[in-house]
Amino acid sequence: MKMKTFKTLLTAASLLLCTSAFATSDPNRTDAPNRTECIAPAKPGGGFDLTCKLIQVSLLDTKIINSPMRVTFMPGGVGAVAYNAIIAQRPAEPGTVVAFSGGSLLNLAQGKFGRYNVNDVRWLASVGTDYGMIAVRQDSPYKTLSDLLEAFKKAPDRIVFGAGASIGSQDWMKTALLAKEVGIDPRKMRYVAFEGGGEPITALLGNHIQVVSGDLSETLPYLNGDKIRILAIYADKRLDGELANIPTAKEQGYDLVWPVIRGFYMGPKVSDAQYEWWVDTFKTLQQTAEFKKQRELRGLFELNMTGKELDDYVKKQVIQYHEMAKSFGLAK
């Protein structure tokens, strides 16, 4: 009898351990994880941190979760270290989401995430999009994108572009595409890679470089001070509100559209029920006033995708990035 009681207790304890990370009050419905974590695959202060903080605040403000989401940092390779860790070491954590960006997808397309590919995680949800842009100092002689590119075409060695990432990155790729637009070999342009999005703007303001290639959200804090001028936004059409006066590259005759998606993925062994809880949660969250406020505060624009829709988008984007990388000799 004692042995039977011991076995019963052991079974109950095992069940509790198996479900401790994910509480369920109804056998047909999965409830919120007991512990939630967002991994930002970079140092604090960048775009991945921004992405995690967006949902950390809005999940709590909407009372979808009762305890604050933990944000942890796992820098390395624009997401490569985190991607490998979540697949190889933490594949089944139901409360853990990992931030990704368009830069992550570009690196995946170039094989920079090692032995893993786009099919090795569960793509979860997007929370917004940023857009590429190109900017100069307010006192620059280049008033339009055409002004800049005409000067660049005449003397490629006299204009120095700066960005927060190395050759082959999103920022480099956006600059290389502009070079191609005016018939310049991208390998001949002067390009300086900085660490992060803030450093090239500092270099621009110090007149160490002439042009910044980056993302719109990184430049927004500088617009009100009349320190920089954005020559073009890489959006399909003009943005709304205070940004409506900034022209797109497309309307200036240059076929360059570059959205910078931000979102999340999960480990490959997270169960369907646990994954669907997050999908449903993001569908709800994306429609709330609290989420929209936090998205706007972080300079992001609406882009709501979840589950299969996001999965299809990501895989299509990686194929497109791969073809683009091949055209620059950056991928096989």
Greatest mean pLDDT among 64-78, 79-93, 211-225, 233-247: 79-93
Single pTM value for the model: 0.81
Q: How far apart are CA 29 and CA 22, in angstroms?
A: 11
Residue 199, pLDDT score: 84
Residue 226, pLDDT score: 81
Cβ contact 317:102 at 8 Å: yes
Averaged pLDDT for residues 17-35: 55
Residue 102, pLDDT score: 92
Q: Tens digit of pLDDT for each residue in 106-162?
A: 999 999 999 999 999 999 999 999 999 999 999 999 999 999 999 999 999 999 999
Q: Tens digit of pLDDT for each residue in 301-330?
A: 999 999 999 999 999 999 999 999 998 888
Residue 290, pLDDT score: 97
Q: Which residues sit opposite 162 in a β-bridge?
A: 192, 212
In this structure, the chain runs to a length of 332
Q: What is the Cα 77 distance to its own chain's centre?
A: 13
Residue 149, pLDDT score: 95
- pLDDT grade for 29, boundaries at 50, 70 and 90: low
194: left (phi over 0), alpha (psi -120 to 50) or beta: beta
Average pLDDT in the chain: 88
22: left (phi over 0), alpha (psi -120 to 50) or beta: beta
Helix (H, G, I), strand (E, B) or coil at 306: strand
Report which secondary-structure segment, H or E, holds 318.
Answer: helix 307-327
Q: How far apart are CA 65 and CA 279, in angstroms?
A: 15
DSSP 28: T
Instruction: Sort strands 190-193 and 70-73 into parallel, antiparallel or unpaired.
Output: unpaired
Cβ contact 29:103 at 8 Å: no
Report which secondary-structure segment, H or E, holds 172.
Answer: helix 170-181
Q: How far apart are CA 264 and CA 260, in angstroms?
A: 13
- pLDDT grade for 295, boundaries at 50, 70 and 90: very high
CA distances from 178 to 126, 134, 331 (A): 27, 10, 20
Pick from 251, 234, 252, 250: which is nearest to 301 by CA? 234
